[in-house]
Amino acid sequence: QEGALQQVGGQVVRERSLMAREALEDALRQEAEVALDYDGWRLLLSTLREVENETGAHLGRSLGTEVATRMKSLSGGRYRGAALGADLETEGVMTSQGVQALERFSEGVKEQIATLLRVSVAEHLGTTLVLDDHLAQTDPERSEWFRKLLQESAESIQVVVLTCRPEDYADGEMAGTHVVDLAQSVVRR
């Protein structure tokens, strides 16, 4: 009986050993598949980040020229443009002394730069531009300059301006405009 038990026990151990080896091989195959998936996802992420960085930098360069041209015109040559980062963040203002920190400028200048950037992005993408009291701290002379810019932009894109200062957009001067006075619930053309 002892011999019979040893043979049965040996067979059971061999079967368990075989099952353990098969389980180990399955686990190793699954690990290899997971590693392959991981490498694929990592490559995809790397490629997407690279494309995003190239596109963002390209957009910043192309819009930088447009913004610079408009800033020169707006400021009478005092400002030469905005230093735009890869993600289109404004890093400063270019002057004859080099790039100056944005904090050194008034809120009005900051609003004007932001508006120029928004107009340029909307024109570049061919999309609608919505501005909400975007030039609240801008002097009348520059407001007039922006009114002309928005008129020019409205030829290629839709421009929607929400403002509590309708005098900045005098009636009749904005061809093809629709003014909605919510206080009086009247639509004028």
Q: Contact 151/90 with Cβ under 8 angstroms?
A: no
Q: Is the pTM of this model over 0.85?
A: no
Q: How far apart are CA 76 and CA 181, in angstroms?
A: 34
HSE-up (13 A, CA, CB side) for residue 151 = 14
pLDDT tens string, the chain, 189 residues long: the values are 666 656 666 677 778 889 999 999 999 999 999 999 999 999 999 998 888 776 655 566 678 788 888 988 988 888 888 887 766 778 888 888 888 888 888 888 889 888 998 999 899 889 999 988 888 888 888 888 988 898 889 889 998 888 877 777 665 455 455 555 555 544 443
